[in-house]
Structure 1
Amino acid sequence: MTAYEDLTAHARETMALGQIAGRLGWDQETMMPRGAAAQRGEEMAAIESVLHARRTDPRIGDWLAAIKSEDLDDVGRAQVRHITRSFERANKVPADLAATLARVTSTAQGTWAEARSNDDVAAFLPTFEEVINLKRWEGQALAAGEDVYDAMLADYEPGTSGADLAEMFNEMRPELTALRAAIIAAEQPKRLEGRFDESKQMKLTRQLAKTFGYDMSHGRVDKAVHPFSSGSGLDVRITTRTSETDPFNCLYSTIHEVGHACYEQNIDRAYLLTPLGQGVSMGVHESQSRIYENQIGRSRAFTSWLYTQMVEAFGDIGLDDAEAFYAAVNRVNDGYIRTEADEVQYNLHVMLRFDLERALMSGDLAVGDLEAAWNDRFAADFGYEVDKPSNGVLQDVHWPVGLFGYFPTYSLGNVYAGCLNDAMTQAVPDLDDDLAKGDTTAATGWLRSNVQTYGGLYEPRDMIAKASGMEPGPKPLLAYLNRKFSDIYKL
């Protein structure tokens, strides 16, 4: 075998083992008995040790040195680019640190869930202090003297930096806060109220998953505290959650996770279990989930169809017509939870987390001061106080499991989705006619052909630029938000 064939065969087995680790994580959030948390931590540490050894195998360096770029096609060069990046990163992180992080963050997830259910920040702080110290150690190893937070970002969005994101957020924040203020001062549309049977929500949510193209023969829908998507290729699973008084939480969480899942399901099967066989970055991933959820799923056209499905499922829902339903779906509400936030306020939630986690990683913010810092920032940004920790600093699973640098990719995904939406609506002129019939195939087909099929072939910003025909930036998103909400609120 050639060096390239040896390299890709090794990578394929490593990817397969990584999928097994991901399945353990899926099980932990959905079906694992609560008492198994400590053992699961040991299991995750063991498999991470195996993965780290494979990712740092000295033969990878030998194979890479023997490969001549000019002998490869575009796919081959992209595979080598991803493997090189992973190899260089893995060799910077000591094996014992990688295993310890896997064990501690797995255990921390259970500790966080218990603390969240009891609204007890103090119970979580010792474990969280350990997570922070380990992540700082890892970040310093990865940064090699450069910016620690930038090194963490590279895990989720290669090619960006904290400074780049801060500049983007500084451009977005004034327009978002001005739009929010104008909306709050306007007359508010009627909200959806009542009680909605949770089994009926799950039945409708599975129908919606199929409506958006989710292949249930290669996936499944389960319930979890925090909705997520897991896996790639032939096994891509999603979770959602239900609330008897808020069916939108269930329905739109599902559409969001289906966006992630369809990205993974629709990648060219030739890339299966290779570095190209998964989403290229979390920003691009989030662009798919957000455009499914918002520009498609919350559009006037699609909600006119969804209104009929809601009435069929639940009977009288207290809204007179499809237009009132559209306004209710897009109502700008006070709220604490990022995943439940409307399009106008969502990015403000992300910016809060971005600033706090940068401060945590730099050491400018102590773990013991995090809750107060969160509450002060929330009150300043949203104008009201956090009522309890589960609605504040304990609401997200990301920090407990060590995902620092992940949060800003949510807003970056919104920015990418704004660019893609402009291109998609120009390419599919009859889009609204289709969506009003509950037919998403033209929209999801365009995204599949222009983004999803490529997997990791292109770098993140290059992928969005290729698909949208423009250099990614926040202007299309901001224009879309101003146009949509000025119409709804008659601004």
Structure 2
Amino acid sequence: MSALDELLAYQRDTEALAQIAGRLGWDQETMMPRGAADQRGEEMAAMEGMLHARRTDPRLGAWLAALEGAELDPVAAAKLRHIRRSFDRATRVPARLAAEIARVTSVSQGKWAEARAADDFAAFAPVLAKVVALKREEGQALAAGGDVYDAMIDDYEPDMTAAQLDAMFGEMRPRLVALREAILDKPMPDGLTGSFPEEAQMALSRRLAETFGYDFTRGRIDKAVHPFSSGSGSDVRITTRTSPADPFNCFYSTIHEVGHACYEQGIDPDYALTPLGSGVSMGVHESQSRIYENQLGRSRAFTGYLYQQMQQAFGDLGVSGADAFYAAVNRVQKDYIRTEADEVQYNLHIMLRFDLEKALISGDLAVADLEGAWNERFERDFGYAVPRASLGCLQDVHWSVGLFGYFPTYSLGNVYAGCLHAALRRDVSDLDAQLARGDTGPATAWLRERVQRHGGLMTPQEVITQACGHAPSAGPLLDYIEAKFTGLYAL
């Protein structure tokens, strides 16, 4: 075998083991008995130790050195680029540290769920402090003298920096704040009323997943505290959650996670169990979930279809027709929860988390002071106080599992989705007529062809630029949001 053949055969086993580790995480969120948390932490640590050993194996360095300067086709060159990047980063992190992070974050996730249920940040703070200290140590190793937080962002969005994100948020914040203030001066549309049984929500949730192209022969839907998508290739699973008084929480969580899952299911099958066989970055991943959920799922055209489906499932919804239903779906209101936020306010939630986690990693904010800092910042940004921790700093799972640098990719994904939506409407002229029939096929086929099938073949910026015909910028997203909500609220 050539050096390339040996390298790719070795990498295939590493990718397969990583999928197994991911399945352990999925099980922990959905089906694992509560009493298994400590043992699962040991299992996750053992898996991470094995993966870290494979990702730092000296043979990788030898193979990569042998292939330096080799003439390769674009697919092989892209695979090599990912393997080299992974090897360079993994070799900077001690095996002891990688295993300890896996063990502590597995336990921390359970502690977070218990603290969230009890509205008790103090009970969670000690283990969170351990997570922050371990992730800071990892970030310092990865940064090798550079910016620690930038090194963390690079795990999720290669080549992105905090300075670039600060500039992007600086452009977005004034227009979003001005729009939010104008909207909140207007009367709020009525919400839904009625009975929304969990079983009926889950049944319609599954139909919506199929409507957006989710392949149930290679996936499943389960329930979790925090909706997520897991896996790639032939095993891509999603979760959602139900609320008796708010079926939109279930339906739009499902559509959002289906966007993630369809990205993974839509990747060229030839890339399965290779470095190209999953989404290229979390920003691009989020662009798919957000365009499925918002620009398609919350459009006037699709909500007309959803209105009919919900009437059949639940009967009277307490709103006076499809236009009122559209307004209810897109209602802007005072609330606390990021995952339930409307398109106007969502990115403001991200900016809050971005600033706080930068301060945690730099050491400017102590974990013990996080709840107070969150509450103070939230009241300053949104104008009202956080009543309890589950509506504040305990609402998200991310920090408990060490995902520092992840939050800003949500807003970056919104920006990418804004660019993709403008290009999609340019290329698919009868999009609204199709969505009104519940036919998402042309839209999702366009996204699969332009974005999803490429997997990790290109860089994040290249994927979006090629799909849209121009480099990504915040302008299309802001223009879309302003036009939509100016019309909805007659501003």
Aligning the two structures, in what range does the TM-score lie when normalised by the shorter sequence? over 0.9
Q: What letter corresponds to residue 460 of structure 2 in structure 1?
A: P
Per the alignment, residue 285 of structure 2 pairs with 285
**1:293-314 alpha-carbon deviations (Å, 9 max, x no partner):** 0000000000000000000000
Q: Which residue of 1 aligns with 2:463?
A: 463
Residues 342-491 of structure 1 mapped to structure 2, 5 A cutoff: 342-491=342-491
C-alpha separation between the residues in 2 aligned to 1:333 and 1:193?
Answer: 16
CA distances 1:246-278 after superposition (whole Å, capped 9, x unpaired): 000000000000000000000000000001000
Residue in structure 2 matched with residue 12 of structure 1 by the alignment = 12
Q: CA deviation at 1:54?
A: 0.1
**Cα deviations across residues 216-249 of structure 1 (Å, max 9, x unaligned)?**
0000000000000000000000000000000000
SS at match of 2:277: coil
Note if contact 1:213-1:441 (Cα within 8 Å) is conserved in structure 2.
yes
Map 1:90-129; keep pairs closer than 5 Å: 90-129=90-129
Distance 1:35 1:328, change over 3 A: same
Deviation at 1:195, TM superposition (A): 2.8
Matches of 1:185 and 1:122 in 2, distance apart?
A: 37
Aligned CA RMSD, in angstroms, stands at 0.6
1:252 and 1:293 in contact (8 A); partners too: yes
User: Corresponding residue for 1:64?
Assistant: 64
> C-alpha separation between the residues in 2 aligned to 1:230 and 1:19?
9
Letter in structure 1 aligned against 2:409:
T
Distance between the aligned counterparts of 1:380 and 1:193, measured in 2? 32
Cα distance in 1 between the residues matched to 2:468 and 2:376: 39
Partner of 2:37: 37
1:429/1:369 CA distance change after superposition, 3 Å: same
- Corresponding residue of 2:258: 258
In the TM superposition, residue 187 of structure 1 has moved relative to its aligned partner by 2.4
Paired position in structure 2 for 1:52: 52
Q: Does the Cα contact within 8 Å between 2:105 and 2:400 map onto a contact in 1?
A: yes
**1:407, distance to aligned residue in structure 2 (A):** 0.2
State the distance in 1 between where 2:156 and 2:240 align. 23
Query: Aligned residue for 1:305?
Result: 305
Counterpart contact for 1:69–1:77, Cα < 8 Å? no
User: Which whole-Å CA distance do the structure 1 matches of 2:6 and 2:335 have between them?
Assistant: 53
Distance (whole Å) between structure 2 residues aligned to residue 311 and residue 195 of structure 1:
11
Once the two structures are TM-superposed, the CA of residue 194 in structure 1 deviates from its matched residue by 2.9
Provide structure 2 residue ranges, at least 5 long, that are not aligned to the other structure.
none
Q: 1:133 and 1:237 mapped to 2: Cα distance?
A: 31
Residues 194 and 316 in structure 2, CA contact (< 8 A), matched pair in contact too: no
Count of residue pairs brought into register by the alignment: 491
2:164 alignment partner in structure 1: 164
Is 2:335 the counterpart of 1:332? no
| Structure 1: stretches of 5+ with no match in the other structure | none
Q: CA deviation at 1:470?
A: 1.2
- Structure 1: which amino acid aligns with 2:139? G
Matching residue of 1:132: 132
Amino acid at match of 2:115: A
Distance (whole Å) between structure 2 residues aligned to residue 485 and residue 195 of structure 1: 28
Q: Which stretches of structure 1, 4 residues or longer, exceed 3 Å deviation after superposition?
A: none
Match of 1:276 in 2: 276
Contact 1:428 1:442 in 2 (8 A): yes
Tell me which amino acid in the other structure corresponds to 1:437: R
Match of 1:227 in 2: 227
CA-to-aligned-CA distance 1:158-177 (integer Å, 9 cap, x gap): 01100100110010000000
Provide the rounded CA distance (Å) in 1 between the counterparts of 2:273 and 2:429. Answer: 36
Q: Secondary structure at the match of 2:239?
A: strand
3-state secondary structure, aligned to 1:182: helix
Q: Tell me the alpha carbon deviations over residues 317-338 of structure 1, each in whole angstroms, 9 at most, x when there is no partner.
A: 1111111100100000111110
Shift in Å, 1:191: 1.3
Give the secondary-structure state (helix, strand or coil) at the position aligned to 2:242: coil
Higher mean displacement: 63-72 or 193-202: 63-72
What CA distance in whole angstroms lies between the structure 1 residues aligned with 2:192 and 2:287? 27
Supply the distance in 1 between the matched residues of 2:58 and 2:68 (Cα, whole angstroms): 18
What are the equivalent positions in structure 2 for 1:156-195 lying under 5 Å apart? Answer: 156-195=156-195
Deviations 1:112-160 (A, max 9, x none): 1001100111111111111111011000000011000000000000011
Q: Provide the C-alpha distance between the structure 1 equivalents of 2:197 and 2:448, rounded to a whole number of angstroms.
A: 34
1:371-394: CA deviations, max 9, x gaps? Answer: 000000000011000010000000
Inter-partner Cα distance in structure 2 for 1:224 and 1:443: 28
1:267 aligned onto 2:231: no
Answering whether residue 258 of structure 2 is matched by residue 248 of structure 1, we say: no
Question: Do 2:227 and 2:240's aligned partners in 1 also have CA atoms closer than 8 Å?
Answer: yes
Partners of 2:345 and 2:78 lie apart in 1 by 37
Question: Is the 2:230–2:238 Cα contact (8 Å) retained in structure 1?
Answer: yes
Match of 2:202 in 1: 202
CA positional deviation for 1:70: 4.3
Secondary structure, counterpart of 1:344 in structure 2: coil
Alpha-carbon distance, 1:71 to partner: 2.1
CA distance in 1, matches of 2:366, 2:299: 42
Aligned amino acid, residue 406 of structure 2: Y
Equivalent AA in structure 2 for residue 111 of structure 1: K
TM score, norm. by length of structure 2: 0.99
Q: Which residue type is aligned with residue 15 of structure 1?
A: E
Contact 1:3–1:63 under 8 Å retained in 2: yes
Structure 1 Cα separation of the partners of residues 71 and 380 of structure 2: 57
Amino acid at match of 2:425: T
SS at match of 1:283: helix
Give 3-state SS (helix, strand or coil) of 2:101's partner: helix
Task: State how far apart, in whole Å, the 2-side matches of 1:50 and 1:221 are.
Answer: 29
Q: 2:216 matched to which residue of 1? A: 216
Counterparts of 1:291 and 1:239, CA distance in 2:
18
Contact 2:179 2:344 in 1 (8 A): yes
Aligned-pair identity in percent equals 68
AA in 2 matched with 1:223? K
Give the SS at the match of 1:38.
Answer: helix
Q: What amino acid does structure 2 have at the position aligned with 1:74? A: P
**CA displacement at 1:69 relative to structure 2:** 4.2
Counterpart CA distance in 2 for 1:194 and 1:389 is 29
- Structure 2 CA distance for aligned equivalents of residues 388 and 128 of structure 1: 18
SS in 2 for 1:413: helix
